[in-house]
Amino acid sequence: MFSAVGRVLESSQFELLYLYGFVIDNNPSDFLMVHYPTEAFQNSSSSEAKEKLLMLQKAELRCLLPKSLLHNGFFGDCNEKDNSRLHNSFSWSGQRKVPSYLHKLIFPQEFIAALRTVSMKDNELTQATSLLEDLVESRKDRQASEAEVQAAVWESCGDYAALELLVDLLRIKMLELEEGSGTEQNDAKILEDFCNLELEWKLRNKLDDKKSMTRNRRSCVVYRRGQKQLTRLFLQEAEHALELCASELQ
């Protein structure tokens, strides 16, 4: 019994809604799914070269962003620095500096590396390919590692275009969530109305199927509002990282 309760408490809102038909208010285990559509660059002249780099990095163009990541971000409540990710951004030439904001960038480096790759310009793609060819030629018998491919891509283009793309993806996500349902404020008003309606039913001592149906609808609205909230918070993080990145380029 206790293990079943534990699984429920560790489940995301989507899992709870799909498997059990209810959600938990302010669920700490919730997450947001963000993805980049591959068809967006498959028709470009450089798509084949980019796909090869993505394959060498074993890159994923979709990413789960747990709510817990926000505690470590620019606007979170955690002051500890995580330096474990710095080694993936060393400079090939020594000319590109490790970003000062890296320890607060909460988005997984693997996903950022994938976004760097798909957003590369042709000259940056040529530079990264050349760096990797020189590296492989010097070794003769070994391919470049995933980290080395990521480093070559970062050396060639940096973070700006990737962060700009991330901001665009999150803004599109928000537009999709708000389409037909409005903003977080709209959802809050619906939930307030549900609460008032349930109170009225309790006062009248009415316990019927209509009440149960309203609770199911409420769960869907709570889930939807939570997704909008997470999108807003992750978008805030991405926009701030983009601003810092732009300031370091000046």
Helix, coil or strand: residue 66: strand
Q: Give the separation between CA 113 and CA 118, rounded to whole angstroms.
A: 9
Residue 204 has pLDDT above 80, yes or no: no
Q: Does residue 9 carry a pLDDT above 50?
A: no
Residue 203 in this model has a pLDDT that exceeds 90 = no
The alpha helices in 10-57, defined as continuous H runs, are: 13-19, 47-57
The angle subtended at Cα 41 by Cα 39 and Cα 44, nearest 5°, is 125
Evaluate if residue 188 carries a pLDDT over 70. yes
pLDDT higher than threshold 60 for residue 58: yes
pLDDT computed for residue 200 by the predictor: 67
Sorting pLDDT into bands at 50, 70 and 90, what band is 90? low
Least confident of 4-8, 31-35, 121-125: 4-8
Full 3-state SS string of 95-157: CCCCCCCHHHCCCCHHHHHHHHHHCCCHHHHHHHHHHHHHHHHHHCCCCCCHHHHHHHHHHHH
Q: How many CB atoms lie within 10 A of CB 155?
A: 20
Q: What are phi and psi of 32, to 5 degrees?
A: -120, 135
> Higher confidence at residue 205 or residue 76?
76
Site of tokens 């080395």:
148
Q: What would the two tokens of residue 199 be? A: 């109170």
Q: Which tops the pLDDT comparison, 205 or 106?
A: 106
Strand partners, 63: 34
Other CB atoms within a 10 A radius of the CB of residue 204 amount to: 8
Asked whether the predicted pLDDT for residue 84 surpasses 70, the reply is no
pLDDT tens by residue, 132-154: 988 888 877 678 889 889 999 99
Max CA separation in the chain (angstroms): 81
For 232, how many CA atoms within 13 A lie in the half-sphere containing its CB?
11
Vertex 101 angle, CA 95 and 104, to 5°: 145
pLDDT of residue 13: 74
pTM of the model: 0.85
* C-alpha dihedral sign at 133, 138, 142, 147: negative
Does the pLDDT at position 8 exceed 50? no
Rounded Cα gap, residues 165 and 15, in angstroms: 28
> What average pLDDT does this structure show over 1-20?
53
Residue 15 three-state SS = helix
d(CA 49, CA 128): 11
Per cent of the chain over pLDDT 70 is 78
Task: Identify the band that residue 7 occupies on the pLDDT scale cut at 50, 70 and 90.
Answer: very low
Calpha distance 181→235 (Å, rounded): 19
Q: Are 27 and 16 in contact (CB under 8 A)?
A: yes
Show me where the domains of the chain are located: 33-170
